[in-house]
Amino acid sequence: MKGVAMLEITFAKPVLPEGGVLVVPVGEGLELSGLAMALDEALGGGLKRALEAAGFKGKAGSSATLLAPGSYKRVLALGAGKPGEARGAETLGGAVSAALGKEEAVSVLADGVNAEEAAALALGLRLRAYRFDKYRTTLKDDEKPKLAKVAVLTSAPKEAAAAYERLSAVAKGVELTRDLVTEPANVLFPAEFAERCEKLKKLGVKVEVMGQTELDELGFGTLLAVSQGSAHEPKMVVMQWLGDPAHEDKKAKKPVAPIALIGKGVCFDSGGISIKPAAGMEDMKWDMAGAGAVTGAMAALAGRKARVDVVGLIGLVENMPSGTATRPGDVVKSYSGQTVEILNTDAEGRLVLADVLHYANTRFAPRLMVDLATLTGAIIVGLGHEYAGLFANDDELAAKLALAGEAVGEKLWRMPLVKKGQSYDKELNSPIADVKNIGGGRAGGSITAAQFLQRFVGETKWAHLDIAGVAWAGKDSATAPKGATGFGVRLLDEFVKGFEG
């Protein structure tokens, strides 16, 4: 059971509670006002004296706890930092969850911020409260999360609640993605993933699932080359959210060009015949994080009734070694008609995306395409775990994505992408096929992977996000516990907002 499942967040008028657990955000300089000042007066100046005695300065990330002051069980002062800090309220909310997860009910004195910031505080609190305890059967009571109710006390409760309603839909999308990415591969194989996508129908998303037979008939040669070593049948899921206001005009004849989101969904990646080392292979259950992000984004957009048309396509496979697996050196024909020499079966994600990208382009004629994939280890060598790699054939698209990522704290760093036949791209020329699936060596591996994908997008505006370094975290962050981050959901939601009617 996820610890976030029972968390109830409400917004109420700024009236100082008579007791319980209080959170007091305090900015640098210890200037108390509003409810914080009222609390200090109720404690006979005890709040400010305690903070000064603890050396608390209000710096972002700092905290001080007062146990049993007056009629309260606990008062937690959290440093709010300087006014205007990027995502300060959201970070503050995450700190509340991290510090008070074992309390059952908490009141947050948020009368010093506006409605949008109060909603952002609630979002950060919820995202940081996420837990995945589904398979943990021996947890002791003191190890389980207890936080069930949070009251955010704000001067504009109705406005804050309205702002949070949209953010709550996005949070659900992030939680869905984290669930998918965290599930073990023996549970979340392609058919099960597709079944979970079908649940989005309840939100108004049109969902189609294609299996082995349909993909064979379409000629998805590169995707099927990845899946043919596995006992699990591949799937492609097409999810459509039709929210553009143009659909309300029954006489309109011009079709609406959707935004296309494409995700790599390798539910487990052994490397195939080019098998990976045993150490760390368990991490390859989350090689479907790109597909997870697209699914979560579709849930978020439908949940908040985004006024734009978006189609999400994910290719779901398992890459396994067996007597039927693709061999290094095999040549296959892609859905686009291009032939591909597969020199390394562990460079499989690009093979999955090649067919899905071309299908998205030819079927939907989208205004633009964005794909997300845990595509290369090389991007981690280049960017570590702070940024995802951004490759794009259009400067304006790249800029919009980067700005969206900056706004929500899911950062992108643009990497080189050249035209066909130039520098990096020439490394993909095969002596016996139209293209080979790896470059000439280890250098620039994330770039040559993106160059491969570019051969399947035509002239459509397109961006590729290599999220291998940011889909999973080895330590807690401000708004995510260690594990699946849900990276990409908030970025895509923020990006799509710029196209809404």
Confidence of residue 1 (pLDDT cuts 50, 70, 90): very low
Q: In this structure, which amino acid lies at residue 27? A: G
Q: What is the pLDDT of residue 30?
A: 79
What is the spatial order of strands in the sheet that 8-12 belongs to? Answer: 8-12, 149-153, 105-109, 20-27, 72-81, 63-67
Is pLDDT above 50 for 2?
no
Question: 169-497, superfamily in CATH?
Answer: Zn peptidases (3.40.630.10)
- Hey, where are the domains in the chain? 3-156, 169-497
Is 414 in the active site? no
Question: Binning pLDDT at 50, 70 and 90, where does residue 3 land?
Answer: very low
CA distance readout (Å), 62 to 24, 54, 246, 371, 480: 12, 11, 49, 38, 18
- Are 260 and 313 within 8 A, CB to CB? yes
**What is each CA distance from 276 to 309, 346, 375, 376, in whole angstroms?**
39, 8, 15, 13
Other Cβ atoms closer than 10 A to 382: 18
- DSSP secondary structure, 99-139, as one string: HHTT-SEEEEE-TTS-HHHHHHHHHHHHHHT----TT----
Q: Choosing from 2, 276, 367, 426, which is the catalytic residue? A: 276
Pick 5 or 45 by higher pLDDT: 45
Decide if 3-156 and 169-497 have a common fold.
Answer: no
Q: Is the pLDDT of residue 446 over 90?
A: yes
CATH architecture of the domain with range 3-156 = 3-Layer(aba) Sandwich (3.40)
Cα separation, 125 vs 96, in Å, equals: 6
Strands 206-210 and 259-269: unpaired
Q: Which helix (H) or strand (E) holds 77?
A: strand 72-81
Percent with pLDDT over 90 in the chain: 88
- pLDDT tens digits, residue range 86-109? 789 999 999 999 999 999 999 999
pLDDT for 145 beyond 80: yes
pLDDT at 136: 94
> Is 276 considered catalytic here?
yes
Q: How far apart are CA 401 and CA 259, in angstroms?
A: 13
Question: What stretches of 294-434 adopt beta strand conformation (E)?
Answer: 309-319, 330-333, 339-342, 368-373, 388-392, 412-414
- Catalytic residue chosen out of the listed positions 350, 400, 436, 490: 350
The pLDDT value recorded for residue 83 is 80
Rounded to an integer, what is the distance from CA 388 to the centroid of its chain? 11
CA distance 312 to 251: 27
d(CA 108, CA 209): 45
pTM over 0.85: yes
